[in-house]
Structure 1
Amino acid sequence: MTAREEAYSAALQAATTHARRWLASMPDRPIPPRRGADEVAKALGELPDGPTDPAAAIDLLGEVVEDGLMAMPSGRFFGWVIGGTLPAALAADWLVSAWDQNAGMRTPTPGVVAAEETAARWLLDLLGLPAGAAVGFVTGATMANFSCLAAAREQVLADAGWDVNQRGLNGAPPITVLVGAERHVTVDVALRYLGLGAPTVVPADDQGRIRADALAEALADRPGGPVIVCLQAGDLHSGAFDPFAEAIAVAHRHGAWVHIDGAFGLWAAASPTHRRLVSGFEAADSWGTDAHKTLNVPFDCGIAIVNKPAPLRRIFGISADYLVPDAAGDPLDRAPEMSRRARGVPVWAALHSLGRTGMAGLVDGLVANAQAIAAGIAEVDGVEVLNDVVFTQVCFAVGDDERTVAVMNHLLQEGVTWMSGSRWAGRRIIRVSVSNWSTDEQDVAMSVAAVRRAVEATGDAAVG
């Protein structure tokens, strides 16, 4: 074995040891980090004067940083919408790092690009989206929304006779962007990045679904000109889905581009049982999702899907003498990065390991666990489940805002489960996001029991 091979072998073995230990700790590990960032930074020390053995560096990193890690891969982590990592996806991600390919161009890196293109084709098939749609692999849901809305901006301005790529936004026809009252903040952020400003807000119902009648009124009342409508698959709090068939039809009658933010909810389409939740969504013009959520691949892996590839290529396409373009098109034509890791490869591995029925089972299992948690905590005196649990989100409160916050703080301090606090429908709530493939009946039972203990520990649990 050469010195180079020995260096890699020892470092990779050390990393494997620490990774296995970390993953093995999940069933019993408390969720919160054991040490804060300042403590971890101090333990990591100062920059060495000379070289360090690679394996020794990895050992230090693994030993010190682990105390500052939150157990997000745990089946009892329900804070935010953060999935776990499927075994095949994790292993594929290790290969991506070892292969060290720049996946921006097709001809120089055909292996990883072929895997990404296959994953994209499988995704469109599983979700029932147009086979000719363009698929870009980006960093997360924010950039997926950004990429789709960049294509939308380009197209609606082109339809109005304005070339934004040549002329910019100064003097361009104003674009009206309509969003539901409970859209995710990443939509607003993407609009800000694109220079489109604050959107026009359309009222939503009590579960956060945009009201199609109110959307029709807003479209009719707008001053005219280019228009974009943003819908959502999976409300941040309730998990509810917008009425796609009706909303898309009325938007298209007014010449609007329709984008769907489906960070975690788009995957309902992969389940025969839950596909009804996205009925009609295939008629939209673009869709954004995040594979590290429901699909359970490692960070970072957002997916931007645009029905007509042309505007996406016009806004992101790059031509330079030193590049090696492929006649079939390149990944850099479908995303805002020239250089990136092959983040679509773990998507291929996840889908291949699951298959069609496994993907449906993953979605159905997440929903079943969310409904089991909702049913379990609903039996605790004083707990009120506030949403219709149609997908993977559960929101509950315990009495007034002060009591709810106290229960949440007790949960976080105990550390058996992690549920995030939020505000919804005018009151403080505790939000449960079931996103991890490994969550099982024991995780559900332990989490429900933790809620019961927190309610009992924070005062009289009797209602009224």
Structure 2
Amino acid sequence: MTSQRPRRPAPEQSPVRTTEGLLGRAGFHALAHLHGLGGRRAGAEAEPAELRALLDAPLPDGPTDPAEVIDLLAEAGRRGTVASPGPRYFGFVIGGSLPVALAADWMVSAWDQNAAAYTPGPAASVIEEVCARWLVELYGLPRESSVGFVTGGQMATFTGLAAARHHLLERHGWDVPERGLTGAPEVTILASAERHASVDRALRFLGFGSGGVRDLACDADGAVDPAALRDELHKTRHPAIICLQAGNINTGAVDPIAEACALAREHAPGAWVHVDGAIGLWAAASRRLRPAGLELADSWSTDAHKWLNVPFDCGIALCAHPASHRAAMGISAAAAPYVVLSEQTRDQIDWNPEWSRRARSVPVYAALRALGREGVADLVERTCELARRFAERLREVPGVEVLNRVTLNQVLVAFRADDGDHDTLTRRVVDAVQREGTCWLGGTIWRGRYAMRVSVSNWSTTEDDVDRSVRAILGARGSLRNGTVDRSRTCER
């Protein structure tokens, strides 16, 4: 009789170790976090050393109680997260997650599908197909436009510019997928001097480099000057990509897209116009705020975690030339025979640069279905009105400057110092506001000046949140007179 290896004892099935128990425990901690957002500090409580002391340890040799792991992570989240989902977080153009989008994102994790193609995730494929159509309609873009759901605004810009590279060089007889870029025709890149750094990064990824970009001068608001574009187009002798933006990261200004597209068609036929609409593409849902000429461009990029308020990991690339989009991103059945591709279903791998991927269109679908066109427009218009309220309340105070014309949801603020060192005072006010904790906002450089940047993007922000934040900002400035920052006012009711 052969001996048998002793069986390992079955895992203990106590309520805190089962799937139900662990999800329930995580849900308890998550809800406690969400319910506390309105009353907690907007910034993190712990310093880096404290977080390392809590989390850093040698890799365990054996198992750790799963419930203990969840509790540890919850404690790290309590002390080491910023309240970016909350109503008084105004940094980095970050919107909080709508409850319906958050709930849908939890289901994505539970489904655990590879949303690369229809075969490994049928529901995800159809959701993405429908969601893509809705977005094209919402933005008012050409009906045939293709859509790819990517990790964020960075990869959305990359995808749009990859499609542009393929399209332009193919028209000049060059097969990029087959031959690469060595020896390829030169491509001229014209881009707003006020562009986001993700444009230069995408150009580096694509082999263009950022050193050869020709900057387009901008007006006082940070929007491209059409005369500057016309002058550069007159000098252009090669295939051209023109990078514009709908929503300057500092001022919210929108480039004159309609005029720019007309100039491109007139002076550089065949030029490709890409619009970085990480912020402003969502303004297309509003009849009052819709950027003119959006539909005339060739590609667009945006980020749903900003103004649609869905969880992170949800950039969107759109293209008016689906064949070029697919050629730049897709694969063939011969290249990956184990992936079943079909012309009758949407295979997401054709429209984005990833293989294994999250079903990131699901929270977008949930948000769009729950809000509808009018709900998205209301979200955009309401936060823009709150940004204007910020500007009005601060502008009326002596010694406070609002540096931009508030066209969307961005406000730039500077503080005048008696000794003339306005930048130092503004930096100190930003730092004091962050330490005081009622709200969180960051700093930026605008036209050589240091400025406080307020970005109003969250669905849950109210007029009261704006007014409390304005009081905290002015209180922080006042506290600098005697060298103290009063943290007792944090999240006053």
Band the TM-score falls in, shorter-chain normalisation: over 0.9
Check 1:414–1:3 CA distance in 2 against 1; reply closer, same or farther (3 A cut): closer
What is the distance in 2 between the residues matched to 1:365 and 1:46?
Answer: 49
Structure of higher CA gyration radius: 2
SS in 2 for 1:287: strand
1:160 matched residue in structure 2: 172
Root-mean-square deviation (CA, aligned residues, Å) is 1.6
Question: Conserved in 1, the CA contact under 8 Å of 2:247 and 2:277?
Answer: yes
1:359 is aligned, of 347, 372, 376, to 376
Structure 1 residue 4 displacement after superposition: 11
Deviation at 1:56, TM superposition (A): 2.5
Matched position secondary structure for 1:49: coil
Q: Deviations over 1:26-84 (max 9, x none)?
A: 11111111113342232123333322232222112112332111111111110111110
Query: Which residue of 2 is the match for residue 127 of structure 1?
Result: 139
Residue 171 of structure 1: aligned partner:
183
The 10-residue stretch of structure 1 (187-196 or 107-116) with the greater mean CA deviation from structure 2: 107-116
Q: Give yes or no for contact 1:107–1:326 (8 Å, CA) kept in 2.
A: no
- For 2:119 and 2:54, locate their aligned partners in 1 and report how far apart those are by CA, in whole Å: 45
Contact 2:389–2:466 (8 Å) recurs in 1: yes
Whether the aligned pair in 1 keeps the contact of 2:113 and 2:120 (CA below 8 Å) is no
1:103 maps onto 2:119 in alignment? no
Secondary structure, aligned partner of 1:293: helix
How far residue 255 of structure 1 moved from its aligned partner, in angstroms, is 2.1
Tell me, what secondary structure is at the counterpart of 1:421?
A: strand
Aligned-residue offset at 1:355 = 1.1
Which residue of structure 1 lines up, in the alignment, with residue 20 of structure 2? Answer: 9
Residue 288 of structure 1: which of 280, 291, 301 is its match?
301
1:228-247 equivalent positions in 2, closer than 5 A: 228-247=241-260
Which residue identity lines up with residue 23 of structure 1 in the other structure?
Answer: L
- SS of equivalent to 1:423: strand
Are 1:46 and 2:58 matched, yes or no? yes
Query: How far, CA to CA, are the matches of 1:5 and 1:84 in structure 2?
Result: 30
Q: Distance in 1 between matches of 2:15 and 2:343?
A: 38
Counterpart of 2:323 in structure 1 is 310
Relative to structure 1, the CA distance from residue 66 to residue 5 in structure 2 (aligned partners, 3 Å threshold; closer, same or farther) is closer
Match of 1:453 in 2: 475
Q: Specify the SS of the correspondent of 1:435.
A: coil
Distance 1:35 1:5, change over 3 A: closer
- 1:390-429 mapped onto 2 (5 Å cutoff): 390-399=407-416, 400-429=422-451
Which one-letter code corresponds to 2:47 in the other structure? G
CA-to-partner distance for each residue in 1:116-164, whole Å, 9 max, x for gaps?
1111111111111112111000011000000000000011111111111
**Identity of counterpart residues, as a percentage?**
50
What is the aligned partner in structure 1 of residue 311 from structure 2? 298
Asked if 1:23 is matched to 2:26, the reply is: no
Within the alignment, does 1:337 sit opposite 2:354 as a pair? yes
Contact 2:159–2:317 under 8 Å retained in 1: yes
Residues 2 and 451 of structure 1: is their aligned pair in 2 closer, same or farther, counting only changes over 3 Å?
closer
Q: Alignment partner of 2:305: what SS?
A: coil
What is the rounded CA distance, in whole Å, between the counterparts of 2:284 and 2:76 in structure 1?
Answer: 42
Identify if the C-alpha distance between structure 1 residues 411 and 4 changes in structure 2 by more than 3 Å, giving closer, same or farther. Answer: closer
Would you say the 8 A contact 1:40–1:65 is kept in 2? Answer: no
Letter in 1 for 2:253: A
Unaligned runs of 5+ in 2: 1-11, 417-421, 483-493
Compute the displacement of 1:408 (Å). Answer: 1.1
Q: Is the 8 A contact 1:10 1:54 kept in 2?
A: no
Matched residue type, 1:173: P
| Mapping 1:216-255, distance limit 5 Å | 216-222=230-236, 224-253=237-266, 254-255=269-270
Q: Does 1:430 align with 2:445?
A: no
How far residue 390 of structure 1 moved from its aligned partner, in angstroms, is 0.8
Q: TM-score, normalised by structure 2?
A: 0.90
Partners of 1:3 and 1:312 in 2: CA distance: 51
* Residue type at the aligned position of 1:203: A
Match of 2:392? 375
Displacement of 1:455 in angstroms is 2.2
Q: Secondary structure at 2:92's aligned position in 1?
A: coil
Question: Paired residue for 1:263, among 273, 278, 292?
Answer: 278
Is the contact between residue 238 and residue 395 of structure 1 (CA under 8 Å) also seen in structure 2?
yes
2:400 pairs with 1:388:
no
2:8 is aligned to none
The residue aligned with 2:96 is: 84
* TM-aligned CA deviation for residue 108 of structure 1: 3.1
CA distance in 1, matches of 2:119, 2:230: 47
The offset of 1:282, in angstroms, is 0.6
Paired with 1:255 and 1:374, the residues of 2 have a C-alpha distance of 42
Question: CA separation in 1, counterparts of 2:320 and 2:111?
Answer: 31
Q: Secondary structure at the match of 2:18?
A: helix
* Partner deviation per Cα, 1:198-256 (whole Å, 9 max, x = no partner): 2110100011100111101101112x121100000000111010001100111123321
Using the alignment, how far apart are the partners of 1:459 and 1:39 within structure 2? 31
- Once residues 445 and 160 of structure 1 are traced to their aligned partners in structure 2, the CA distance between those partners, rounded to angstroms, is 57
Taking the aligned partners of 2:103 and 2:179, their CA distance within structure 1 comes to 46
2:228 to 214, 220, 238: 214
- Name the residue aligned to 1:326: 342
> Is this contact kept in 1: 2:17–2:67, CA < 8 A?
no
Q: Is the 8 A contact 1:288 1:303 kept in 2?
A: yes
Q: Which runs of 4+ in 1 moved over 3 A?
A: 1-6
| Contact 2:17–2:66 (8 Å) recurs in 1 | no
Structure 1 portions without partners, runs of 5+: none
Instruction: Return the TM-score normalized by structure 1.
Output: 0.96
Identify which range, 232-241 or 402-411, moves more after superposition: 402-411
Give the Å deviation of 1:6.
6.2
Which amino acid counterpart does residue 62 of structure 2 have in structure 1? G
Instruction: Pick the aligned partner of 1:94 from 106, 109, 128.
Output: 106
Give the letter aligned to residue 273 of structure 2. V
Q: Alpha-carbon deviations, 1:336-363, whole Å to 9, x = none?
A: 0011000010000011111111111101
Partner of 2:461: 439
Q: 2:44 touches 2:83 (CA, 8 Å); kept in 1?
A: yes
Deviation at 1:296? Answer: 0.3
Q: Which moved more, 1:409-418 or 1:40-49?
A: 40-49
Provide, for residues 255-301 of structure 1, a one-character-per-residue CA deviation record: whole Å limited to 9, x for no partner.
Answer: 210000000110010012211xx111111000000000000000110
